[in-house]
Amino acid sequence: MNDALRAHLVKKVVGIAGVGGLGSNCAVSLARIGVGKIIISDFDVVTRGNLNRQYFFEEQIGILKVKALKMNIFRIDPHIRVIAHAEKVTPENVAKLFDEAEVLIEAMDLAREKQVFIETALGLWPDKPIVAGNGVAGWGFNEALTTMKYGNLYICGDAVSEVSEELPPLAPRVSIVANMQANQALDLLMADFDLSMYTME
């Protein structure tokens, strides 16, 4: 099964908008299962404060997140192609950055950025699935984390926990939601998987 799965996923392209807590963890999971091409875009650099949840290392502080993530994925699997854009995702560049992606991961920080990205991408490609992260802050409340489907827009998280001084983003919940996004993306990528390849092995 694993060979057939990898042969299927190596042909796939996923785009990730933002590689902070959600995007970096999601990208690493998609890389581990062998998604062939991962397009990432983020303008930010790694800070010490990021290390409580984002898939970076202390010696990467000060480096562009997309560059650091590309290096980290290379160390996991050098065959994964990571297309790294050191750009802030805006309505103007979404089409150029992510046209090739079959599935989009929304992993931006601010609600405003999430809203703009989702509206822009849905406007450009009404049929391209978007998997967004919404409501990740704090700890506990495993039971509140879920995935809502609105047509081809999938929203993972608890839909209410906004980041604040009292409710910081922390590795456990952020990583869970990042991996819910990866799992949802995988499900979408598997829609055209030929099961006969598996049964013939």
Partner 1 sequence: MEILLNNNIEFIDAEAISVQELLLYKNFTFRMLVIKINGQLVKKDQYTSAMIHHGDQVQVIHLVSGG
Asked if 151 interacts with partner 1 (CB under 8 A), we say yes
| Stretch binding partner 1 (CB under 8 A), from 65-73, 92-100, 160-168, 189-197 | 160-168
Q: Which of 107, 79, 85 is nearest to 9 (CA)?
A: 79
CB of 174 to partner 1, least distance (A): 8
Q: How far is CA 7 from CA 34, 37, 104, in A?
A: 9, 13, 21
Number of Cβ within 10 Å of residue 58's Cβ equals: 8
Asked if 129 interacts with partner 1 (CB under 8 A), we say no
State whether residue 146 is helix, strand or coil: strand
CA distance 94 to 120: 7
Asked if 123 interacts with partner 1 (CB under 8 A), we say yes
Q: Which of 10, 20, 181 is nearest to 104 (CA)?
A: 181
Asked if 76 interacts with partner 1 (CB under 8 A), we say no
| Stretch binding partner 1 (CB under 8 A), from 5-13, 15-23, 29-37, 75-83 | 15-23
Kindly give the pairing relationship between strand 146-150 and strand 153-157. Answer: antiparallel
Q: Residues 111, 146, 190, 194: which binds partner 1 (CB under 8 A)?
A: 111
Kindly give the pairing relationship between strand 130-133 and strand 13-17. Answer: unpaired
Asked if 122 interacts with partner 1 (CB under 8 A), we say yes
CB of 181 to partner 1, least distance (A): 10
Kindly give the pairing relationship between strand 37-41 and strand 81-85. Answer: parallel
Number of amino acids touching partner 1 (CB under 8 A) = 36
Asked if 140 interacts with partner 1 (CB under 8 A), we say no
Asked if 108 interacts with partner 1 (CB under 8 A), we say yes
Residues that bind partner 1 (CB under 8 A): 18, 20-23, 107-112, 114-115, 118-119, 122-123, 126, 132-137, 148, 150-151, 153, 155, 159-163, 169, 174
